[in-house]
Structure 1
Amino acid sequence: MSDVGDRSRLGLPAATALVLGTIIGTGVFTLPAALAPFGTISLVALVAVTVGAVALALVFARLVARDPNTGGPYVYTRDAFGEFAGFLAAWSYWISGWAGNAAIAVAWVGYVDVFIPVLDHVWSAVLTTIVGLWLPALVNLSGLRNVGGFQVVGTVLKFVPLLFIGVVGLFFIDGANFGPFNATGGSVWAAFSAAGAVLLFSYIGVESASIAAGAVRDPARNVGRATVTGTLAAAVVYFLGTIAVFGTVGTTALKDSTAPFADAMNAMFGGSLGGKLMAAAAVISGFTALVGWTLVTAEMSLAAARDRVFPAWFGLQRRDVPWLGVIVAALLASLLTIANFTEGLTATFTAIALLTGFTVTIPYLFSAAAQLYWLLREGRRPGRPFDFVVALLALAFSYWMIIGGGETTVFEGLLMLLAGVPVYVWMKARRSGAENVGGRA
């Protein structure tokens, strides 16, 4: 468990805000533009992904009650299947953390452009993205209590305008704006799965409180509640918001939009003031999400470092924060952004989001499998049939998300996952050597 004083730990409201804040980043604000090329079939995919996300939230709520230590999917996989499987879960999730930050920052730039024309030149866009990655890192380095404060305030500031668009926008919907059901021209199943893979990015974060469990007060009680409550609240916003934007802006216009929620506000009320207010909410939302995700990514590497499957320097802490883990995550996200930004805003966001979806699905799958393992091992107990069905649903959902990522994404993600094997071999050899020296002494 993280060495955090009880006063500094996150209570239930802050833990819920961490979950909601990491789930709702800038992804939701860019999501309608990323889904528009698939057509309204993406709304059906949204239902399916929401069911899968809630199933995962329930799985994590059960698993954290069993083991309320920092590390989330890494801890659950390690306990059920051993050290190497745990390492793969930790390595894959760690990649998804800093890669996801890059995607959030890329989407964030589209809304910054509403106020400052940073998209006119590639390098001004890249520079703005990098600033968006390092400012949240500095907030984390200032201490855990500041992270909790940012999550609570930022979550309120972004949740309210999103809910406003979702509810009020329903009264401005024009059915003609929804366009064709399957706009890809390919098979319905392929379009459905591809849209689902993009949507998964918007639900990444259901596990965030379980990973930072050591930083939460009374984690066995509060983490499960925060996980389920935050996921359900995000689901409401996603449903209402996506339908409202599709119905007010139209799928054709959305394909070229860099700030779809701002466009929806302008379509509803005319002028640009409403759009700028929504863009401001998106900027705040992205910043808050990056603050939370930076912490979650660093906490994952901290948990693995304490078990000596990650290098020890990931465990260095200052002001209750793994400071070197924060810096490394921000640096890698910056490099990933620079490498991909030449493809344009939406294409860059989609590519990185798909890669993030694949790498995060691996630990999701392991976690669902771990829950099934414990249920089968324990035999009959109250609530077991329901938990068993939920775990099976979460497992099937994880497999579907891997398939939906497409061949290129799976290939690239698998290479990044296997790149961790030499790291594991090195760390294990070092431990074994130290133990042999100690034994001879």
Structure 2
Amino acid sequence: MAESSKKMSLMGLTTLVTVNMMGSGIIMLPTSMAQLGAVSLLSWLVTAVGSMAIAYSFAQCGVFCPRSGGLSAYTEEAHAKSGFFLCSYLYFLSLAIANVAVAISAVGYMTSFVPWFGSGAIALFVGTAGLIWLTIVANFGGPNITGKIGAISVWGVIIPVAGLSIIGWFFFKAEVFSAAWNPNNLPISEAIGKTIPLTLWAFLGMESAAQASDAVEDPKRNVPLACLFGTLGAAVVYVLSTTVIQGIIPNPELATSTAPFALVYAQMFNPVIGKIIMALAVIACIGSLLGWQFTLAQTAKMTADQAMFPKFFSRVSAMNAPIIGMVACGVLQTIMALSTISPNASAQFSKLVSLAAVTNLIPYVTALTGLLVIMYKAGVSPSVYTRNTVILMIGLIYSLYALYSCGKDAIFGGTLVLAFGYLLYGFLAKRFEPPPVPAKAADH
């Protein structure tokens, strides 16, 4: 009984899942979505259903396959060792791309305090690279410090976004929302499709819920429920906040903003409140980036421990921080920021989000298909197998649709990255084969 009281309840885990997802993914989205109009809000409904199906399926993977390795381990159940490598490799790249996008979000909000960051492509790159390296160096202190900072800073996004979902309706104007509905006169299906990568971006991280199953009361019941309720909770806040903002700020103004939530609070109250929201968003982004830098380095370390990434990723300092791996990750992210350089923070953000979505969706597909083998090995009842397969198929159909919606450029980039991954694994594959038996000397 005492042991159970130390474990996390359904409410606690649901809150954890919601907070994990909300991070910094939302703060640039209103601007990106406003470029297509309020009609893009419909994609939230599609993504919420797909994300809940994916989150539930990963929770089931965690319940029936308790081995470490997360998505890569689930993938290996169906796709063998090469599947583990490719899943880790693509997930690693998606995190690196996402980190650059988070850094760009933060720099977008910082332009009010440091106007130079908004003066052109070089200034935006300098700000982005500076933040990337600041959060990497801050991680050298180890996981304990990183976790504490992230747990506090994330509220810098959650409080203003959740607050807007409630108080924003007192400032909502139907005529502003109506004018913003479909300024480009796009067909509804096209508008939804174009926004899917953006709304999916806000839900990335839902796979983290299944990792906490050891610390939860009655995990077989509570982990899947927390995944569903947590994803649904995040969806409600996302839909309400991005809807209400479209009815307060005129669409042309919102579509060009570098700090949409600061802009709406300044309009609702006064510029001082807007500045406070802007500062909170910057703090939240830096805290989120700090946590994701650590997750990126840990993903590389876990893969290196399996002899699939270079050995230097495995080395840790006395503070248990993989410093050499973090520096390598920093170099990679700096190159990514430079290769997608743009004078417009929102344009660069959207480009990176689509590529991050592609490199994240492929591991989702491979890990989801692993559930079929996991359930077979676990000997689940026919009713559980049927129920999970139906939900799994909803998640897979959404994942394939989301891949298609990412567009030709992002899929082309993702395909090149995937093909390069197969090349890399070709050089690694011999490590996992038994040593060859020496041929017997020919008889004379």
Secondary structure, counterpart of 1:257 in structure 2: coil
Distance in 2 (alpha carbons) for counterparts of 1:124 and 1:31:
22
Q: 1:288 to 1:20 in 2, by over 3 A?
A: farther
- After superposition, residues 347-366 of structure 1 pair within 5 angstroms as 347-366=347-366
**How much does 1:350 deviate?**
0.4
Query: Equivalent residue for 2:237?
Result: 237
- Residues 230, 334 of structure 1: alpha-carbon distance in 2 compared, 3 angstrom cutoff: farther
Using the TM superposition, give the Cα deviation of residue 141 of structure 1 relative to its aligned residue in structure 2, in angstroms.
Answer: 2.1
Per-residue CA distance 1:284-313 (angstroms, 9 max, x = gap): 221122122122222222222222222222
Structure 1: give runs of 5+ residues left out of the alignment: 1-9
Counterpart contact for 2:44–2:235, Cα < 8 Å: no
Deviations 1:177-235 (A, max 9, x none): 2235444444332221111122111111112355x669x85799497677556434422
8 Å CA contact 1:17–1:151 kept in 2: the answer is no
Task: Report deviation, 1:330.
Answer: 2.3
1:87 pairs, out of 82, 85, 88, with 85
Which residue of structure 1 lines up, in the alignment, with residue 4 of structure 2? none
Change in 2 beyond 3 A, CA 1:96/1:110: same
Query: Helix, strand or coil: the match of 2:381?
Result: coil
Alignment of 1:380 with 2:392, yes or no, is no
Match of 1:61 among 52, 59, 62: 59
**Alignment correspondent of 1:340:** 340
**Contact 2:24/2:154 (8 A) holds in 1:** no
Q: What is the deviation of 1:19?
A: 4.9
Range 339-348 or range 226-235, more displaced: 226-235
CA contact (8 A) 2:100 2:132 kept: yes
* 2:111 counterpart (105, 110, 113): 113
Question: How has the CA–CA distance of structure 1 residues 298 and 228 changed in structure 2, closer, same or farther, with 3 Å as cutoff?
Answer: farther
Aligned residue for 2:28, secondary structure, equals helix
Matched residue, 2:140: 141
Q: Distance in 2 between matches of 1:16 and 1:317?
A: 32
Q: Is the 8 A contact 1:24 1:234 kept in 2?
A: yes
Q: Check conservation: 2:365, 2:399, Cα contact below 8 A.
A: yes
Q: 1:431 to 1:55 in 2, by over 3 A?
A: closer
**Greater Cα shift, 19-28 or 29-38:** 19-28
TM-score of the pair, normalised by structure 2: 0.87
Alignment partner, residue 26 of structure 2: 28
Corresponding residue number in structure 2 for 1:305? 304
2:43 and 2:196 in contact (8 A); partners too: yes
1:116-155 Cα distance to aligned partner (Å, 9 max, x none): 2121243332222112212222333211111221222122
Structure 1 letter corresponding to 2:243? I
Q: Partner of 2:342: helix, strand, or coil?
A: helix
Residue 76, structure 1, aligned to residue 80, structure 2: no
Q: Does 1:42 align with 2:43?
A: no
Larger displacement relative to structure 2 (72-81 or 370-379): 370-379
Give the length in aligned residue pairs: 427
Letter in 2 for 1:200: L
Partner of 2:164: 165
Which 5+ residue runs of structure 2 have no aligned equivalent?
1-6
Q: Report deviation, 1:84.
A: 1.3
Q: Distance in 2 between matches of 1:89 and 1:374?
A: 17
Contact persistence 1:21–1:289 (CA under 8 A): no
For the aligned residue pairs, the C-alpha RMSD in angstroms reads 3.0
1:415 corresponding residue in structure 2: 416
Secondary structure at 2:242 match in 1:
helix
Q: Distance in 2 between matches of 1:109 and 1:186?
A: 31
Return the alpha-carbon distance in structure 2 between the equivalents of residues 227 and 335 of structure 1. 35
Q: CA deviation at 1:376?
A: 5.7
Q: Is the 1:21–1:292 contact (alpha carbons within 8 Å) kept by the matching residues of 2?
A: no
Match of 2:3 in 1: none
CA distance in 2, matches of 1:438, 1:69: 35
**Structure 2 counterpart of 1:252:** 252
Given residue 241 of structure 1, which amino acid in structure 2 is its aligned partner? S
CA contact (8 A) 1:23 1:289 kept: no
TM-score (norm 1): 0.88
Cα displacement (A) at 1:171:
1.5
Does the CA contact (< 8 Å) of 2:368 and 2:392 recur in 1?
Answer: yes
Conserved? CA contact 1:32–1:242, under 8 Å: yes
Distance 1:220 1:335 in 2: 45
Residues 140 and 22 of structure 1, relative CA distance in 2, 3 Å threshold: farther
**In the superposition, relative to structure 1, how do residues 17 and 309 fare at CA in structure 2: closer, same or farther (>3 Å)?**
farther
The 1:380–1:19 alpha-carbon spacing in structure 2 relative to 1, beyond 3 Å, is closer
Given the superposition, is the C-alpha separation of residues 294 and 33 from structure 1 closer, same or farther in structure 2, using an over 3 Å criterion?
same
Q: Which moved more, 1:101-110 or 1:313-322?
A: 313-322
> CA 1:39/1:157 → structure 2, altered by over 3 Å: closer, same or farther?
closer
The amino acid that maps onto 1:198 is L
Contact 1:21-1:151 within 8 A present in 2 as well: no
Partner residue in 1 for 2:276 = 277
Q: How far is the alpha carbon of 1:345 from its aligned partner?
A: 0.9
Distance 1:334 1:226 in 2: 36
Relative to 1, partners in 2 of residues 1:327 and 1:24: Cα closer, same or farther, differing over 3 Å? farther
Paired with 1:144 and 1:69, the residues of 2 have a C-alpha distance of: 22
